[in-house]
Structure 1
């Protein structure tokens, strides 16, 4: 099926433009820079000025993006037929990196088929099977942390989540192969917005730095294809994600490669950043730290998971998710043309006092009360048919990381003033790396 043309400078007529939600008249490039680097302040300002539904324009082609900030409007999007709300088309910029079979790039029947094959590896029983391996890796990492000396916990979390991906998801255990993969994978996951531009402008891929990145990717691919070939012969009885995928589905090597790279890129920085923010908050909140330590000691998974959830609410790693309309559709009281990009602003919902009293406060107990947040108001993993398939894995991973760290250490913030968020690709990370100091309990 041919891609849906973007609604933008080439396809938007004046009459249609007058029917769109209001929005800023700033040049497209200015709006793009504000969105890319300052969305956490740009979006609230736009909502305050234009209301719960507003329009921005972004490169390429001055594409029309309608931003939604009310849960009932966002539910209209998540509840619409996937054939009308394409998410894969909005991610085509990622194809040179993730591959054409990536779950994030597929729509319609292809997406349903691929998601169905992935689901057994992320079921409840499967997640419980991974938890012990994740805890062991987390304990090994936190044991190396410097004591009584400030350090950037975000980088430590990036190291740990990469190790979890290599060993728990890819199932690589050979020491020599791990030593080869670590520096290569670190370069892959450090993909910058500049590199991602190659998806919009393919001729760039033939020159540096794009060519250098793709050369690294090819080295990783050689190892991944070799792992896949070997695993096809030995996956029985193994407990890693790759082995479970082989046991549950009928995959080509290219399909498996694309899903593994997608899990790497979608699950590395996101979880690392979420946990960095969690430790950032705990280091500044002695009562919440003590609450978490008691939960870790008692094996109270619900309490530990609530801390991960609250970190993801206060500091949504991904601020918005997008869809592209494949046909003219009524959304949020507007009749939006085919090709419109819809953005569900997760960050605006999470900071709305109507849904989360005292939204600026880190309060894990809100997820444990008799009156928890209403359905559809907490959405760090998106929603509907495109909800992140790794959501359960991420929450399990965060729970085990907290268990390992809080069982071992007290946390303090050498600089009590909170660190501001800084845009890094699609994520919002602690500007100074979430600097903490730990002492033995």
Structure 2
């Protein structure tokens, strides 16, 4: 009988406001301690609401959540904190039929043939960036990777190549991304946008929107639309011939801003952590340098995957229950948010021996069990840009390591910036020309 099953698991008694503040500021300092005390499954209270988050880290439970009926496990509702920035039509925010429609329209832009079409552009942008470096430079890696991946997104997603437009967009997008916990509060309490410092952030966002709407309007009138491969042009070509209603300007804006924000900083952080770990590991660096010279993309991708395991860019996945559900042998009530923990999953010794050690070989030699390495989530909501991110990261690593050896003088601390984990010191590297 389901009424005999256990319900909400135990968790800390911390007041919801304090738990929310800690959760927004430093999850890597918070969650492992709770896990150590309460085990693989525990609950926390998060504002607004408060809402009950039930955190899972056992791969069996994570598989169950990823395989569950998306109509009853709403990922969009679980990501609701992002709505003020991403927009109500964002692929990250929507559920059910609207999500299915958005994903269907976006998916062709991220298939194998599309990846092959984008790769030369990524290579060219990476080459321009690395050409600006010099032997002996101290590279602030996070800054440079953010600049590089932003240019990739602006050109691949928007097709913007005009340097004047790029120069206007770059600082405005960076301002949208480079925020701390107090700014995140406005994502839960939109009324704060009327007050400083949130008001300035919101004004900047409105300016970005104006640029995007102007770009959309101009592109709709472009005579060469059929010959363009960027995501915006692809979306504008979608019409009744595909049996789908074309996206409105508002829907287009929400999908584009989602791809821009979710697709550039995450890859920049992954690249920064990867180069940092290589700079701390001479033996692995030697293998990576050889891989770059020999075109061994499998090893470079393994380095990227291992850094994403050791330094999860996003900490967790969220699904909000639309009805009472049995999850992990527990009867959880409607409205509960079930939360597979990427951080805890990636650090399980049962899944990854010596989980604290940077060891790319594990992705080449070992068979990685399903639902243990989950940086892109899973199930029908798995990140649509996963293949693009790995392609981009591998291309950039190859371009860097063909030209430079890297050395990291100190261990980089983790910093939670907006919803992503980045090197707190920007991962400085010493460059040595090869």
Identify the TM-score tier after normalising by the shorter chain: over 0.9
1:163 matches 2:151:
yes
Q: Note if contact 1:317-1:380 (Cα within 8 Å) is conserved in structure 2.
A: yes
Q: Note if contact 2:178-2:418 (Cα within 8 Å) is conserved in structure 1.
A: no
Match of 2:254 among 252, 255, 258: 258
Match of 1:240 among 230, 242, 263: 230
Q: 1:334 to 1:169 in 2, by over 3 A?
A: same
Q: Note if contact 1:120-1:245 (Cα within 8 Å) is conserved in structure 2.
A: no
Equivalent in the alignment of 2:305: 309
Equivalent in the alignment of 1:5: none
Equivalent in the alignment of 1:322: 318
| Whole-Å separation in 2 of the counterparts to 1:57 and 1:121 | 38
| Whole-Å separation in 2 of the counterparts to 1:214 and 1:42 | 29
Unaligned runs of 5+ in 2: 240-245
1:24 Cα deviation after fit: 1.0
Q: 1:198 to 1:33 in 2, by over 3 A?
A: closer
1:284 matches 2:277:
no
Equivalent in the alignment of 1:43: 31
| Whole-Å separation in 1 of the counterparts to 2:386 and 2:427 | 23
Equivalent in the alignment of 1:9: none
Which residues of 2 match residues 187-206 of structure 1 at below 5 A? Answer: 187-206=175-194
1:354 matches 2:350:
yes
| Whole-Å separation in 1 of the counterparts to 2:344 and 2:25 | 16
Match of 2:376 among 375, 381, 385: 381
Note the alpha carbon deviations across 1:372-404, whole angstroms, 9 max, x for none: 211221100000111111111111110111011
Equivalent in the alignment of 2:139: 151
1:229 Cα deviation after fit: 2.1
Equivalent in the alignment of 1:428: 421
1:248 Cα deviation after fit: 4.2
Q: 1:235 to 1:247 in 2, by over 3 A?
A: same
Q: 1:422 to 1:199 in 2, by over 3 A?
A: closer
Unaligned runs of 5+ in 1: 1-14
| Whole-Å separation in 2 of the counterparts to 1:221 and 1:338 | 35
Secondary structure of the equivalent of 1:335? strand
1:124 Cα deviation after fit: 1.0
1:296 Cα deviation after fit: 1.4
Match of 2:75 among 52, 68, 87: 87
1:191 Cα deviation after fit: 4.0
Q: 1:84 to 1:191 in 2, by over 3 A?
A: same
1:41 Cα deviation after fit: 3.4
Secondary structure of the equivalent of 1:140? helix
| Whole-Å separation in 1 of the counterparts to 2:133 and 2:200 | 33
| Whole-Å separation in 2 of the counterparts to 1:45 and 1:184 | 37
| Whole-Å separation in 1 of the counterparts to 2:134 and 2:273 | 19
Q: Note if contact 2:302-2:363 (Cα within 8 Å) is conserved in structure 1.
A: yes
Structural RMSD (CA): 1.9
Note the alpha carbon deviations across 1:207-229, whole angstroms, 9 max, x for none: 33233222222222222122222
Equivalent in the alignment of 1:231: 219
Match of 2:291 among 292, 295, 299: 295
Secondary structure of the equivalent of 1:65? strand
Q: TM-score, normalised by structure 1?
A: 0.92
| Whole-Å separation in 1 of the counterparts to 2:180 and 2:234 | 31
Secondary structure of the equivalent of 2:226? coil
Equivalent in the alignment of 1:3: none
- The number of equivalent residue pairs is 424
Equivalent in the alignment of 1:28: 16
| Whole-Å separation in 1 of the counterparts to 2:93 and 2:306 | 29
1:77 matches 2:65:
yes
Q: Note if contact 2:301-2:394 (Cα within 8 Å) is conserved in structure 1.
A: yes
Equivalent in the alignment of 1:6: none
| Whole-Å separation in 2 of the counterparts to 1:42 and 1:99 | 29
| Whole-Å separation in 1 of the counterparts to 2:232 and 2:195 | 33
Larger mean CA deviation between 227-236 and 274-283 belongs to: 227-236
| Whole-Å separation in 1 of the counterparts to 2:269 and 2:360 | 17
Q: 1:196 to 1:315 in 2, by over 3 A?
A: same
| Whole-Å separation in 2 of the counterparts to 1:424 and 1:209 | 16
Equivalent in the alignment of 1:127: 115
Larger mean CA deviation between 426-435 and 332-341 belongs to: 426-435
| Whole-Å separation in 2 of the counterparts to 1:217 and 1:36 | 21
Secondary structure of the equivalent of 2:92? helix
